[in-house]
């Protein structure tokens, strides 16, 4: 038996979670105020993932950078590589919310999409 202590990131309450594991399997989650905490804890100890938000350089637009996010969760272990690919990207305006700006970022199978509009100038 092994216990892991986590802070739930599902909402600002930040419940303190205790996850009990046996041979790599989650047997119990305690401390969650709602079911989201249980789901988060089970995923976090077995396969932690995150949505990554950042910005990408823009050419020919009314702003120099566009805010972006990964369209889905990516493995937490890949965050550094994902940020490297996002930092290396440059996109040309115009850009619309939801446009795919980096396809299959860092080989995760997840695209990076725009979260704001950029006009061409």
To the nearest whole angstrom, how small is the minimum distance from the Cβ of residue 61 to ligand SF4?
A: 37
* Length of the chain counted residue by residue: 121
Stretch near ligand SF4 under the rule CB under 6 A, chosen from 29-37, 59-67, 71-79, 91-99: 29-37
Considering the rule CB under 6 A, would residue 8 count as an interface residue with ligand SF4?
yes
Interactions with ligand SF4, residue window 36-95 (CB under 6 A): 36-37
Considering the rule CB under 6 A, would residue 13 count as an interface residue with ligand SF4?
yes
Q: Rounded to the nearest 10 degrees, how much is the dihedral formed by the CA atoms of 86, 91, 93, 94?
A: -70
Considering the rule CB under 6 A, would residue 10 count as an interface residue with ligand SF4?
yes
> What span, in angstroms and rounded, lies between the C-alpha atoms of 72 and 109?
9
Closest CA to 81 of 48, 105, 104: 105
Considering the rule CB under 6 A, would residue 34 count as an interface residue with ligand SF4?
yes
Q: Is the CB of residue 82 less than 8 Å from the CB of residue 63?
A: no
The residues that touch ligand SF4, with contacts defined as CB under 6 A, are 8, 10-11, 13-15, 32-34, 36-37
């Amino acid at each position: 038996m092994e216990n892991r202590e986590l802070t739930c990131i599902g909402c600002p309450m930040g419940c303190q979670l205790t996850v009990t594991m046996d041979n790599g399997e989650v047997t119990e989650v305690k401390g969650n105020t709602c079911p989201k905490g249980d789901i988060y804890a089970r995923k976090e100890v077995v396969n932690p993932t995150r949505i990554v938000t950042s910005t990408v350089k823009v050419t020919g637009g009314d702003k120099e950078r566009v805010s972006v996010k990964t369209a889905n969760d990516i493995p937490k272990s890949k965050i550094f590589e994902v940020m490297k690919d996002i930092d290396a990207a440059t996109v040309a305006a115009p850009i619309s919310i939801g446009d795919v700006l980096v396809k299959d970022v860092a080989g995760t199978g997840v695209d990076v999409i725009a979260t704001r509009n950029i006009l061409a100038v």
